[in-house]
Amino acid sequence: MTASDEKRAHASLDHADRPDRARLEAAGDTFRMLSDPTRLHLLWTLSQGPADVTALTEETGASRTAVSQHLAKLRFVGMVETERSGRNVIYRLADGHLARLVREGLNFADHTVTGEPAHH
Burial tier of 50 (Cβ tally within 10 Å: 0-12, 13-18, 19+): middle
**CA 4 from chain center: how many Å?**
30
Q: Using one digit for the tens of pLDDT, what is the confidence trace for 77-109? A: 999 999 998 999 999 999 999 999 999 999 999
Alpha carbon 118 to its chain centroid, in Å, reads 23
Q: What is the DSSP letter of 88?
A: E
At 39-83, the pLDDT tens digits run 999 999 999 999 999 999 999 999 999 999 999 999 999 999 999
Q: What is the pTM of this model?
A: 0.82
Which amino acid makes up residue 83?
E
pLDDT band at residue 116 under the 50/70/90 scheme: confident
Domains and CATH numbers, the chain: 22-112 (1.10.10.10)
